[in-house]
Amino acid sequence: MPSRMTVDSNGEKMNKKNAWKLPRIGQKVEITIESVAFGGSGIGRFAGLVIFVPFTVDGDRVEIEITEVRQSYAKGRMCRILKPSPFRTVPECSLYERCGGCQYQHIAYTHQLEIKKNQVIDAFERIGKHPAPPVRDVIASPMPYAYRGKAEFHISFKSGRLPVIGYKEAADSRIVPVSRCAIVDESVNRSLTALRGKLNAISAAGRRGGKKEERVILWSDTGKAAVDPGVSGGRGGLVMRPVKEKMLRAPFQGFFQANSALVGSMVDSVIRACALTGKETVLDAYCGSGLFSLFLASSARQLFGVDADGEAVHCAAENLSKEGISNAEFFAGDVGEILRHTFLKTQQSVDIVVLDPPRIGCSSDVLEALKSLGPARIIYISCNPATQARDVRRLRDSGYILRDLQPIDMFPQTKHIEIVGLLERENRI
Ligand SMILES: C[S@@+](CC[C@H](N)C(=O)[O-])C[C@H]1O[C@@H](n2cnc3c(N)ncnc32)[C@H](O)[C@@H]1O
């Protein structure tokens, strides 16, 4: 008796008996993209298996080649678009799909925002186990291109050749030569041209010794670099960054929020979530150069800041004292250790914690210490919804309610998304 034929969600004809059969590497198949996963790849299905395909978007009908097969999913490379999604647009950059910097230039900007909102909802439902998480619409970047105030380029030196300056390729770790980047401020592109000229001149004169590969940070000149440490950006240099009519100093090699056009809105979201009345003690954990501290301290009774980067902490203290703020104290060190050895040991009470950890999120000891500290509110800022959802789940288990998630599109054209989350301690309600 012939086995029954069936049709999968994409209209693929498949033999029920063989439906479990995994596709082969190198096999070409046609699929329809249903959504875009966090990380940037489009998701389609073939024979019931989820397939991730970079540089596609929901609504695309594409021919793909299978590049990797696992038990529960496969990966593919797009060969051709059979029917384009209505959400497709023309990328601005000629290096798009080759350069590893951007993943969404082929997607209309308003749809990028919808995709990112859905990714935050998905992360909090799946990883955070939060039914119907309170996710707001994404705050758009006023500039979908030319928004980055800082970029890090790679330089490779090979004897007898001109140096190559660019970003890493999407597919491997080779450097794609970049002459102009569409997402950085134009002044960064001008600095890139100047840097290339400088390096070519050094190379023509016969560069001796030195590393084969280097990284260089270029900042936009909106804030005018106070000290330019030169091509390699030696430690000790400072950069000045304007935010909401104030000027902050930050270490040249250190962290500063990348989207110059949106950083003010991000600070406003944090101010709103803190809702300070002037009576609170605030802890700005992972404070960097004191961006949030600067705008919160004057509305708080007292503010403490903690960061592992000693140079950033030094900048934070200077940024606040320059504004005449005297109710702030900063600590250089690991957040978990300082919470345990300084705050919990001395029974220093804290009403509000602003938590802005790196992409990996908070360690268990930080979450444990927060449970003991018991602030009434935690404002958790993150550029990674997966680790944020994981940590928020633990905070909810410790008695916090997730009140609000405000995504902010600090990184248009890329897979990244920033989120300001607000949690309140349950017994306050
Ligand atoms: C995402 S940045 C946030 C900086 C700051 N809130 C801002 O908006 O400019 C994360 C910061 O965490 C700091 N950091 C990373 N790991 C740390 C740790 N274990 N303890 C303290 N600070 C840490 C980094 O130095 C960096 O300044």
Assess whether the C-beta atom of 307 lies below 6 angstroms from ligand 1.
yes
Q: What is the best residue among 286, 367, 381 to mutate for testing ligand 1's pocket, by most ligand atoms within 8 Å of CB?
A: 286
Assign 182 to helix, strand or coil. coil
* Token pair 């707001």: residue: 136
Taking Cα atoms as reference points, which of 272, 96, 113, 103 lies closest to residue 182?
Answer: 96
Centre of ligand 1 from the C-alpha of residue 134, in Å: 26
Q: How high is the pLDDT of residue 377?
A: 98
Q: What tens digit of pLDDT does each residue of 330-386 get? A: 999 999 999 999 999 888 899 999 999 999 999 999 999 999 999 999 999 999 999
Assess whether the C-beta atom of 285 lies below 6 angstroms from ligand 1.
no
Domain 109-144+258-428 classified CATH 3.40.50.150? yes
Ligand 1 atom having least distance to the Cα of 334: 20
Complex ipTM more than 0.90, yes or no: yes
End-to-end C-alpha distance for the chain, whole angstroms: 66
Assess whether the C-beta atom of 356 lies below 6 angstroms from ligand 1.
yes
Average pLDDT over residues 236-254: 92
Assess whether the C-beta atom of 414 lies below 6 angstroms from ligand 1.
no
In the chain, which segments carry CATH 3.40.50.150?
109-144+258-428
For the chain, give the percent of residues with pLDDT over 90.
Answer: 80
Centre of ligand 1 from the C-alpha of residue 99, in Å: 27
Q: Which residues are annotated as a binding site for S-adenosyl-L-methionine?
A: 257, 286, 307, 356
Is the pLDDT reported for residue 236 higher than 70? Answer: no
Which tokens hold the place of 153? Answer: 């380029």
Which tokens hold the place of 10? Answer: 């994409």
Q: What tens digit of pLDDT does each residue of 42-56 get? A: 999 998 899 999 999
Pairing type for strands 400-408 and 377-382 reads unpaired
In sequence order, what are the residues at sequence separation of 6 or more whose Cβ sits closer than 8 angstroms to the Cβ of residue 356? Answer: 284, 285, 286, 287, 288, 292, 380, 381, 382
Give this prediction's pTM.
0.91
In the chain, which segments carry CATH 2.40.50.140?
5-83
Assess whether the C-beta atom of 294 lies below 6 angstroms from ligand 1.
no
CATH class in words for 5-83: mainly beta
